[in-house]
């Protein structure tokens, strides 16, 4: 473009017609420059839009709360079953977290953890507190009325009673592996009668590697 302008400026001394040609070419050149800078700024602003757009693969709320429940389950000392629960209020704020374990003050090194024994008193069942109970008892709000509970395993009948009495409005669970047991059948009966909704959350998908990449490689 610069070369084009110079060659026409040489023709300036030749004739008035050339002068007008020069003016024309100059304005053409200017307009070309203008369009070039416009296109540059346009492409720049497009790339800025790309950079500043929000992430699309962030965790949805249900996945997030269920993941918190699963993380809590990792605190459990139970060798056969680790369950976590997370209670969330209507503003999507976590108000209680719990996992299955022995009652406070009961040394879990002295308590039985087996699932079966000749004497039921030598199994964990008469003693262990389920995740739902602990999440309700650990609440950091005045109450959990109208809240949702995210729990890894469908609640048993004892926990269903607690959920109902605490005023929890719905239960979101991932596994229902004891669906046909009397405890789960009784639980569904109670929850249905009390109008507590329950639904299965389809999946949890967390990609820690994408976060790791940002922290370790500054991409
Ligand atoms: Zn239970």
Report d(CA 86, CA 65) in Å as an integer.
6
Residues, CB within 5 angstroms of ligand 1 (ion): 130, 156, 159
- Between 94 and 219, the more confident residue is 94
Model confidence pLDDT, tens digit, residues 75-88: 999 999 999 999 99
Reading the block at residue 117, the tokens are 């024994």
> Ligand 1 centre from 201 Cα, in Å?
19
Q: What number of other Cβ atoms are within 10 A of residue 116's Cβ?
A: 8
Range(s) of the domain holding residue 182: 61-200
Give the pLDDT score at 15.
42
Residue 74 lies in a domain: yes
Reading the block at residue 111, the tokens are 């308590």
Reading the block at residue 30, the tokens are 């200017």
> Ligand 1 centre from 187 Cα, in Å?
9
Q: Which of 53-57, 83-87, 130-134, 143-147 has the lowest mean pLDDT?
A: 53-57
- Number of structural domains in the chain: 1
Residue 105 lies in a domain: yes
> Ligand 1 centre from 182 Cα, in Å?
13
What pTM did the predictor assign? 0.72
> Ligand 1 centre from 36 Cα, in Å?
69
List residues with catalytic annotation. 132
Residue 36 lies in a domain: no
- Between 95 and 7, the more confident residue is 95
- Between 123 and 12, the more confident residue is 123
């Amino acid at each position: 473009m610069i070369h084009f302008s110079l060659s026409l400026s040489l023709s300036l001394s030749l004739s008035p017609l050339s002068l007008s040609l020069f003016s024309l070419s100059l304005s053409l050149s200017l307009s070309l420059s203008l369009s070039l800078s416009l296109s540059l700024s346009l492409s720049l602003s497009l790339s800025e839009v790309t950079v500043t757009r929000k992430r699309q693969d962030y965790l949805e709320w249900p996945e997030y709360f269920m993941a918190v429940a699963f993380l809590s389950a990792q605190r459990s000392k139970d060798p056969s079953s680790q369950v976590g629960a997370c209670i969330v209020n209507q503003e999507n704020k976590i108000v209680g977290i719990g996992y299955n374990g022995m009652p406070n003050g009961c040394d879990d090194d002295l308590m039985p953890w087996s699932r079966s024994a000749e004497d039921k008193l030598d199994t964990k069942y008469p003693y262990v507190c389920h995740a739902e109970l602990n999440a309700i008892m650990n609440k950091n709000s005045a109450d959990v009325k109208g809240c949702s509970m995210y729990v890894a395993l469908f609640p048993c009948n004892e926990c269903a009673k607690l959920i109902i009495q605490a005023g929890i409005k719905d239960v979101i669970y991932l596994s229902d592996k004891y669906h046909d047991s009397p405890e789960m059948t009784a639980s569904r009966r109670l929850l249905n009668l009390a109008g507590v909704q329950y639904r299965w959350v389809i999946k949890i998908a967390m990609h820690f590697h994408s976060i790791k990449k940002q922290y370790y490689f500054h991409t």
